Structure 1
């Protein structure tokens, strides 16, 4: 089960930004995961030349309940088959090899994202989205595509939703946000200034705010009431990691959508059928119009 794994992912992704004492502990565990399972927090602290208190602080930095929670996740990690890691494409690489690498990268990004999901935060996000008057999605660049995808999904189940990629338009919306609105800020890096400011503006108006960023503290997540994460995905020289990060973001949005949809199952089925029929009607009408046009021309 994904919630019983992800200990090693959290350690490796947070490693660069941890305080010195916590970094020593994280490094020790990453280098000796099997051994760490049989040690107490005091013993881990002693072997990493820190302290048991520092181990507890590390677990808090990882958004975990304690050292036992971390050990359970590491035990789950060690049961998984070894993966090769994110791989970049090379000069004149074969199509077969590119297919294999990109598929592997996407699968790994999805799996690691699942391991980073906090059930409590996900539940909170689903509740506020379910009760929202309007859901506003905002992202810049590639994250803007994720916002637009989320908008069309939620609209299909009769949720009032908007998606903005323009900072000024989003700022205007945030300025008149209602306390029953939800503003979702999407930024893979977590440091997109515009997204952080939109969430800050929404907070001032009393709206609920949700962030979707890569794992770890960031400008964007600090402004959010509810923080959701994707795997960092190791960016490679050719930026194939950017592709994997997009897949991870879409996966997280699909999880949110499906969770909300399941809470109103019968209504969801009705709305999906209605929208499917509407699209089918328009498609058939366009086909008939084109046939008539070509017939009159011939």
Structure 2
């Protein structure tokens, strides 16, 4: 099923990284989105002083099926209510803070869902479901996402490890084997440590997965499978990566649920066993008799 949103986000994020002719088309669409969705590829090429071929190449660069999908996504963006993305202000009323944070969180989750490529998601889920070992790597706030992924996959008996130190990560990943999966998490896609881990992993038989903001980046260029979150820039008070972390956790939840449902009965047994073990931790310890 074709996605119906995120066209303008994709164009804005990729605009400066596109070849000149494709950039002209992207700029025209961003400036005149309402007009653009009523045009054919040829008309859009003429309006942007390029060609219909440039429009088709732009669609390929955005990894959409064609001009119809791109126009459908843009139309969906235009129908969606604009979100107040202002930052928190001095002495902000509590209720306003609640509304702003909730609205921003809802938007970041929806945009991230719209940016998920179904084919790449399926490849990621298949790799994780069949993995012998899984290494999640991230630093800073992305390290929190790696830890969350680790504890989720451990609950369904996956041999999973969260790594946040470059030296430890390199030590673990350099010995990765066929059937292992290395997941590099970086919102910017330019985090040196994450790129280095994926670079090391790419020299092994392991499968590599990146989770970054949408667009071309160093980290995504080093991965076999690329997953994306919304590229929305963090405002000042949200620079603690609140929105980006939420988007990362959203994708991790999707991966976990998809892997879990691929072996449903076995997963339920694992979850029941781990739940019972946790509940047992709170019971009084009874000393064994010799």
Band of TM-score, shorter chain: over 0.9
Deviation sequence 1:79-103 (CA, Å, 0-9, x none)? 43x1225331011111111111111
Normalised to the residue count of structure 2, the TM-score between the two structures is 0.94
Asked if structure 2 preserves the Cα contact closer than 8 Å seen for 1:2 and 1:114, the reply is no
Between 2-11 and 44-53, report the one with greater CA deviation. 2-11
Count of residues in Structure 1 that have an aligned counterpart in Structure 2: 287
Task: Give, in whole Å, the separation in 1 of the partners of 2:148 and 2:158.
Answer: 14
| Correspondences of 1:111-150 after superposition (within 5 Å) | 111-150=110-149
* 2:37 equivalent to 1:5: no
Asked if structure 2 preserves the Cα contact closer than 8 Å seen for 1:3 and 1:114, the reply is no
Between 234-243 and 269-278, report the one with greater CA deviation. 234-243
Task: Give, in whole Å, the separation in 2 of the partners of 1:285 and 1:249.
Answer: 38
Asked if structure 2 preserves the Cα contact closer than 8 Å seen for 1:89 and 1:240, the reply is no
| Correspondences of 1:168-179 after superposition (within 5 Å) | 168-179=167-178
Partner of 1:194: 193
Give the deviation of 1:241 after TM superposition: 7.3
Distance 1:241-1:25 versus aligned 2 partners, 3 A rule: farther
* 2:81 equivalent to 1:74: no
Between 222-231 and 4-13, report the one with greater CA deviation. 4-13
Asked if structure 2 preserves the Cα contact closer than 8 Å seen for 1:33 and 1:74, the reply is yes
Partner of 2:41: 41
Uncovered stretches (5+) of structure 1, i.e. residues with no partner: 290-298
Asked if structure 1 preserves the Cα contact closer than 8 Å seen for 2:83 and 2:104, the reply is no
Deviation sequence 1:177-230 (CA, Å, 0-9, x none)? 011100000000000111111111111111000000000011100000000000
Deviation sequence 1:38-90 (CA, Å, 0-9, x none)? 2111110110111112112211221112212212222333343x122533101
For the residue of structure 2 that corresponds to 1:64, the secondary structure is coil
Partner of 2:28: 28
Partner of 2:51: 51
Give the deviation of 1:12 after TM superposition: 2.1
Task: Give, in whole Å, the separation in 2 of the partners of 1:17 and 1:86.
Answer: 25
Distance 1:197-1:240 versus aligned 2 partners, 3 A rule: closer
Task: Give, in whole Å, the separation in 1 of the partners of 2:45 and 2:272.
Answer: 57
Task: Give, in whole Å, the separation in 1 of the partners of 2:131 and 2:94.
Answer: 45
For the residue of structure 1 that corresponds to 2:228, the secondary structure is strand
For the residue of structure 2 that corresponds to 1:185, the secondary structure is strand
For the residue of structure 2 that corresponds to 1:4, the secondary structure is coil
Partner of 2:108: 109
Asked if structure 2 preserves the Cα contact closer than 8 Å seen for 1:86 and 1:234, the reply is no
Partner of 1:185: 184
Deviation sequence 1:118-140 (CA, Å, 0-9, x none)? 00000000000011001100001
Normalised to the residue count of structure 1, the TM-score between the two structures is 0.91
Between 173-182 and 68-77, report the one with greater CA deviation. 68-77
For the residue of structure 2 that corresponds to 1:177, the secondary structure is coil
